[in-house]
Amino acid sequence: MDGRRNTLTDCAASDAQHMRHRLPPRRPIPEFSELVLACCFHPLKTLAFGTITSLVFAGLACMLIYPTYEAESFVRVRQHQDVVFAPQSSRADDLAFVRAQEQLALSPQVVSSALGGVQLESWQQFIPHRAPSDWLKSLVRVDMQSGSEVLSIAAKHPVPQVAQAISNAMTDAYMAEITERLVSDQGRRITELERAAQDAEQHVDGLWAELNEVAIKIGSENSQSLTIRDEIQLQAYRDYAQQLRAAQIRGHELASQLEEARNLANAQAVQSREQDIEAGIQAAPEVISAQDRVAVLEDQLRQMREIVAHEDSPRLKRLSADRDFYASELVTVIQLVGPRVQAQVLEQTRGAAQTSLTQLQKQIELNESEKEFLRNRLADIDTSTLRGGEQTGLQLDVKRHAVDRQARLADGLWQSLEELKIERQSQPRVQLMQLANLPDSASHAKQLKAVGAVVAVCWIIIVLGTGYVEWRSCTIRHTADIVENSCFPVFGDVEPSANRFARRPQLRHMSGAQEAVSQMLLSTKQGVGIPSLIVTSATQHEPRHKLARDVASAFAALHHKTLLVDLDPTDNRLARELGCADSPGLLEICNRKLATKTFIRKSQQGVDVLPLGATHGNSVRIDPARFAEVLKELQHDYEAIVAVGPSLLDYAEGLIHAAQLDQLLLTVGGGKSHWNELAKAEQAALRAGLCCVGTAVNCEQRGQTIQLTAYDVDSQQRQHISNDESSESDIRNDLSAIENEIRQAMTEQSQLPQVDAI
């Protein structure tokens, strides 16, 4: 037996040397798909935790997020202005006016006027002290319906009275602002027209005086004496005068357009300047680099807090100090970059609006050049007429035409002034249709969105968390989990019930125990015999007694005299399954040094069983030296000895008990065992120099059991007595044989001198 054990130990040592590099490394970080698939192994747990968590957080979301009430006011904005006479603006101007109403309703002056209005005086407790304008703009929604010419101003708030007050306040502020603008524009235009008409009237009076002087000088007899050249000059003078009038009208239109464009550009610049400045500061390279340094230190600080248990660690203090230093540096950088970015944003805003203003200014300059040219031409004609020495009717006709032209201009100005005054009394372009009523129904859209988001996030977290727990547990779900992480051969396959998502393999004709027995018989050298085997596991909860029973049954089925030994003092599962928990056994043999054969139980399957003995719920210990003597005594009576031992990792003397037998067989169960614990057990066996046959997958086989024969106490006592008598007679026979051998040796020694003498 010792020679065979030495041979097997050398074989195990040589196998261990070239298998050490196959020990499983540390698992890498799992992927998202791996976590989702790993979660599928616990559907009920995932469903329960996901449902409970999502319901709890959905209830919290409904409690923390209140339903909102929406109050809406309506204002009519006419796209085409109703006029009695000629329209005062073009179609493009009308479209621009309608499109600008949304920005005007949310402009800073309207928002500040609404905050200081009467409607919100009684609701000051809801208005925050910090950035009230942004708070109010976040609650207001302005939509322009171009087809129906309706501007809607809606406000949302959890309190219906506050929503109504906000909507009405914004509507009143908008109506006040737009009315003030329209009245101001009309008043300024009336004032300018009155001044222009009065100037034209005074000019007409001066021209009449000049006409009378020329008529007195020329006389009536020369009034008809016009030459062809004079007629041509007079016609050119009339054409230039008409062009000059058209240029003057065009100049007035361009001046009004330039003023409106400047006002619109100033309003847009005030509205978008703060957002552009903030975006520019955040996009500055110095700010980005400072933010990156602060983010890196925050990440390092968070990682150190996860690793270090106390906040008083020097490393944490140093990181906190660095973080505070770079945070203060970031504030300083923002303060330094702010003026520069503000100047750039102001320049960009002015540059965007300057393009249209530049075009209008160029058109005004061209108009001024045109008017100057026309005035010069008229002056040339007047000068050439005055240079003529002879007084003709040309001068009189020129003065008459100038009076007529200036009179028509004055009449047109007075007519435009009267038309504007009449149009001022017509229906206004912006008119209030309806103020907001008190809303009676709440909107739960925000709550539903929050509940949906919370439920989705909870399910994702539960799925990933359950998958991570399953992935972290290293549970054996496939046969490949054992093959990839084990240093030794694997016998049997994991049952499909351990992995419900795996394809069902073909039925195997041999179980893991039968494969292990076949491998042992094939590897056994001729004339050496079957080595003794101990079946154990990595941890305590694995059913190694079932695999030991199956291995013993497999040896017995191959007509080998087999002994099954219960060597597991931590758990009496094999004795309870066989029904011999109270029968005496190995404990009595080791403690009282009794005969071994008297405690062996027979079975109907041809497997002899040596039970552990009655433990009575107490912790027991088996002497390894005494067990080695018992094993040596039984080695000659049985061809195969299979022992079920304690776990290697949970029991202190597990490796010592396993070292008493020739070979070691580990067992795992699909869905119950963990391959990382199996790897630790294999490493422990390799370090102890044990010869490991491999790992067998424990599969449930219905109807596979060992039925022991009835235990007779009287027969056992008689067998004890007969065994004692037979042992005494054997001793006497041995003594007599020794005496005979001694006598024979003495006789042969006495005959030696006679032979020498001959």
DSSP per residue, 518-563: HHHHHHSPTTT-PPPEEEE-SSTTS-HHHHHHHHHHHHHHTT--EE
Q: Quick one: which of 589, 475, 616, 411 has its CA closest to 40?
A: 475
Q: Quick one: which of 610, 604, 574 has its CA closest to 706?
A: 604
Residue carrying structure tokens 């060992």: 706
Close Cβ partners of 546 (under 8 Å, ≥ 6 residues apart): 698, 700
> For the CA atoms of 379, 381, 387, 391, what is the dihedral angle to 10 degrees?
-120
Close Cβ partners of 540 (under 8 Å, ≥ 6 residues apart): 570, 571, 646, 647, 650, 651
Q: Which long-range contacts (CB under 8 A, 24 or more apart) does 712-718 make?
A: 716/598
The CA-atom distances, in angstroms, between 631 and each of 280, 422, 596, 610 are 86, 127, 10, 11
Cα torsion 685, 687, 691, 696: sign: positive
**Amino acid 699: pLDDT:** 64
Orientation of helix 512-523 relative to helix 544-557, angle to 10°: 60
DSSP conformational letter for 475: B
Close Cβ partners of 734 (under 8 Å, ≥ 6 residues apart): none
- Give me 552's structure tokens: 């013993």
Q: Which amino acid is at 47?
A: L
Residues 631, 599 contacting (CB under 8 angstroms) = no
- Give me 513's structure tokens: 């125990």
Q: Which amino acid is at 471?
A: W
**Amino acid 431: pLDDT:** 84
pTM: 0.52
DSSP conformational letter for 437: P
Q: Which amino acid is at 630?
A: V
Q: How far apart are CA 645 and CA 254, in angstroms?
A: 105
Using CB atoms within 10 Å of the CB of residue 25, give its burial: 0 to 12 exposed, 13 to 18 middle, 19+ buried.
Answer: exposed
Kindly report the length of the chain.
758
- Give me 295's structure tokens: 């983010």
Q: How far apart are CA 189 and CA 193, in angstroms?
A: 6
- Give me 658's structure tokens: 């396993």
**Amino acid 140: pLDDT:** 93
DSSP conformational letter for 225: -
- Give me 473's structure tokens: 């547990």
Q: How far apart are CA 338 and CA 342, in angstroms?
A: 6
- What is the separation of C-alpha 76 from the centre of its chain, rounded to a whole number of angstroms? 46
Q: How far apart are CA 646 and CA 539, in angstroms?
A: 9
Q: How far apart are CA 494 and CA 480, in angstroms?
A: 9
Mean pLDDT of each 10-residue bin along the chain, 758 residues long: 49 45 55 78 86 91 88 86 58 79 89 88 87 90 82 91 92 90 83 83 78 63 47 69 81 81 69 68 81 83 72 76 82 80 72 74 85 80 53 63 78 78 74 88 87 92 85 81 83 64 49 83 73 88 85 86 86 79 78 74 79 76 83 85 88 84 87 84 87 81 62 48 50 65 65 41
Residues 349, 279 contacting (CB under 8 angstroms) = no
**Amino acid 231: pLDDT:** 59
